[in-house]
Structure 1
Amino acid sequence: MTAGVDTPDPRGRTGLDRHGRDLTGNPRVRIHDVEVLSCNWYILRNTTFDYQHSDGQWTREQRETYDRGNGATILLYDTTHGTVLLTCQFRLPAYVNGHPDGMLLETAAGLLDGDTPEAAIRREVQEETGHHIGTVQPVFQVYMSPGSVTERLHFFAAPYDRAVPPAAGHGVAAEGEDISTVEIPFTQALAMIRTGEIADAKTIMLLQWAALDGPFRRH
């Protein structure tokens, strides 16, 4: 009996080995087997499949995929004062892979957890920054690391009101979150990409969008 397959995993899930077996969108791909390697919280699978190359030859391949669910992120901006509101929190994976202290400046973000992308990002903004936002603008949807991670991230942008004192934010303590907010002039944030002080991919993408096609673009 395997947790997540025959018996419930820590999150009560079963049948996790069925994911992807019924895909038919690409006739050059035939799923052969799906093995669940880990499902402690997120899901690590090893998928065996047959792939037809451009020369017509078929080969059997294996790939590991990490399924953490889909997520959403948002750029909070104030065009009147020329600022953006970012979060700062410790990221262990970045710390163990060369970041000096693991404290990353980021746009507010989180997993959908069963909500729509817009509902999820409103929840995350409130939890992480304490702000309540109005109309949100969808920007784009992106696969952030398609070679190994299944996540599709929904990008948004919305103004925030710096004159309104935020409610309690700083993340969910029960989930180990300890988040602070940092208000930065937009031009400084762009410069921090060049210096490496902002090194988070989703944040860089939203800042560059804001400069090229968003609220800070130059007409």
Structure 2
Amino acid sequence: MADLFFYGTLCHPPLLAAVLGREVPVTPARLAGHSVFWAAGQNFPLIVEGGAGAEGVLAEGLGPEDLARLDHYEGGFDYRTRDLAVDAGGRRVVARVYFPDAGRWQPGAPWRLEDWVVHWGAVAVEASAEVMRLMGTRSARDIARRYRMILMHAASRLRARERGPARLRRRAVEGDVVVSAWRQPYARFFAVEEYDLGFRRFDGTMSETVNRAAFISSDAAVVLPYDPVRDRVLLIEQFRTGPFARGDGEPWLIEAIAGRVDPDETPEEAVRREAVEEAGLVLSDLIPAAHYYPTPGAKAEYLYTFIGLADLPDGAAGLGGVEGEAEDIRAHLVGFPDLMDLIASGEVNNAPLLILGMTLARERAAIRARHGRGA
């Protein structure tokens, strides 16, 4: 049995329970002569020697399974335990404390658990479910390499729990889908999840157990920049692996600006960021369009789409993309009639731009009346 002192994210009771698979009692404790900081550029803290003292909690009497689960959760980020004496309500207790390997992370701003809970708590707890479910099938190191993607997937799951309308379709209730087995046979930038599951049929009975797989990618946000005064849009062009893998002889696609929604941002923040990264463009108003699953039979991806009002003078189109991400993007300024021609000819052949083009056609007169020179 062992006692552990936690000073960072594991002081959050829901996260500690998720990692250990059970709730454990903790006692407020303090480690003298140490300080806690955010790890620079990360969403977790580190502890360093020196300072007035590190506040935290003490969990006592943890067993071998608890320790294995904690090492799985912490080990991929190069945290190892040291035995140090902590003060727990006047008692001196020798406890294990997770420290990062020397030089692995650099300290940033002073750490406050309350700040982390507001910005990261819910996402981190949701992400921990996937991290712990992979224990025994993926190494802690492999999970750490994908942790950003795991956080993005977790944020997508949290957004998905905001129930949508069900006027025509069945409103799902607990027990309508029963999963008997889960596997993740592939995981890199994207992942594949495989399920053995049963679902409730429309006659009220449960189906037989069937095998289903889904391609896992996080939510994405898409924006079509539109200048209502000049009546033109900005489109981007880039090489796409999907058409190439299909054997398409034209794997460079004309698209709207798009990107993954980071775990610490909203879809609206994501499209504003992507507009700057891909086209050097600052958007003003965002007009929500359709939000949807592009391929629900095979992919977990969900798209948030917008028309973004922008100033698009001559010369606004150029080359863009983020260095280090192998992005090579060319922008085009296209008048609204030309956009409709590109859709009609099939040169625009991806769902987000098709839907946004049709949305703009429907809303164009009203947008121009409010923001432009009129139709």
TM over 0.5: yes
1:188-203 alignment to 2 at 5 Å?
188-203=338-353
**Whole-angstrom CA distance in 2 between matches of 1:4 and 1:135:** 45
**Whole-angstrom CA distance in 1 between matches of 2:318 and 2:232:** 21
What residue is the counterpart of 1:70 in the other structure?
A: 219
**Whole-angstrom CA distance in 2 between matches of 1:6 and 1:25:** 37
**TM superposition shift of 1:158:** 1.5
Deviates more, 1:123-132 or 1:188-197: 188-197
**Whole-angstrom CA distance in 1 between matches of 2:333 and 2:148:** 40
Answer yes or no: is 1:30 the counterpart of 2:175.
no
Offset from partner CA, 1:156-199 (integer Å, 9 cap, x none): 11121123865986111211100010111111111111211111
1:104-115 alignment to 2 at 5 Å?
104-114=253-263, 115=265
Looking at secondary structure, tell me which structure has more helix per residue: 2
**Whole-angstrom CA distance in 1 between matches of 2:182 and 2:140:** 11
Q: What SS does structure 2 have at the residue aligned with 1:2?
A: coil
What residue is the counterpart of 1:137 in the other structure?
A: 287
| RMSD (Å), alpha carbons | 3.0
Q: What SS does structure 2 have at the residue aligned with 1:96?
A: helix
Does the CA contact (< 8 Å) of 1:3 and 1:14 recur in 2?
no
**Whole-angstrom CA distance in 2 between matches of 1:163 and 1:109:** 21
**TM superposition shift of 1:49:** 0.7
Q: What SS does structure 2 have at the residue aligned with 1:59?
A: coil
Offset from partner CA, 1:97-131 (integer Å, 9 cap, x none): 24322110000000002121111111100000101
Does the CA contact (< 8 Å) of 1:78 and 1:160 recur in 2?
yes
**Whole-angstrom CA distance in 2 between matches of 1:74 and 1:191:** 20
TM-score w.r.t. length of structure 2: 0.52
**Whole-angstrom CA distance in 1 between matches of 2:197 and 2:211:** 6
Please, which of 241, 255, 264 is the counterpart of residue 92 of structure 1? 241
Answer yes or no: is 1:53 the counterpart of 2:201.
yes
- Give, as a single letter, the amino acid of the residue that structure 2 aligns with 1:129: A
How many residue pairs match? The answer is 215
In structure 2, do the counterparts of structure 1 residues 205 and 14 end up closer, same or farther at CA, with 3 Å as the change threshold? closer
Q: What SS does structure 2 have at the residue aligned with 1:205?
A: helix
- Give, as a single letter, the amino acid of the residue that structure 2 aligns with 1:172: V
Unmatched tracts of structure 2, length 5 or more: 1-135, 162-171
Offset from partner CA, 1:47-66 (integer Å, 9 cap, x none): 11112322325311111111
Answer yes or no: is 1:161 the counterpart of 2:311.
yes
Deviates more, 1:4-13 or 1:95-104: 4-13
Q: Computing the radius of gyration over CA atoms, which structure comes out larger, 1 or 2? A: 2
Q: What SS does structure 1 have at the residue aligned with 2:221?
A: strand
Answer yes or no: is 1:205 the counterpart of 2:340.
no
Answer yes or no: is 1:43 the counterpart of 2:191.
yes
- Give, as a single letter, the amino acid of the residue that structure 1 aligns with 2:250: D
Offset from partner CA, 1:23-46 (integer Å, 9 cap, x none): 984532111111011111111100
1:120-135 alignment to 2 at 5 Å?
120-135=270-285
In structure 2, do the counterparts of structure 1 residues 13 and 92 end up closer, same or farther at CA, with 3 Å as the change threshold? closer
Deviates more, 1:55-64 or 1:5-14: 5-14
In structure 2, do the counterparts of structure 1 residues 26 and 195 end up closer, same or farther at CA, with 3 Å as the change threshold? farther
In structure 2, do the counterparts of structure 1 residues 14 and 78 end up closer, same or farther at CA, with 3 Å as the change threshold? closer
Offset from partner CA, 1:127-163 (integer Å, 9 cap, x none): 0010111221222311111111111111111121123
**Whole-angstrom CA distance in 2 between matches of 1:189 and 1:103:** 17
- Give, as a single letter, the amino acid of the residue that structure 1 aligns with 2:280: G
- Give, as a single letter, the amino acid of the residue that structure 1 aligns with 2:145: P
What residue is the counterpart of 2:143 in the other structure?
A: 8
Does the CA contact (< 8 Å) of 1:5 and 1:15 recur in 2?
no
**Whole-angstrom CA distance in 2 between matches of 1:125 and 1:169:** 12
In structure 2, do the counterparts of structure 1 residues 166 and 4 end up closer, same or farther at CA, with 3 Å as the change threshold? farther
Q: What SS does structure 2 have at the residue aligned with 1:145?
A: coil
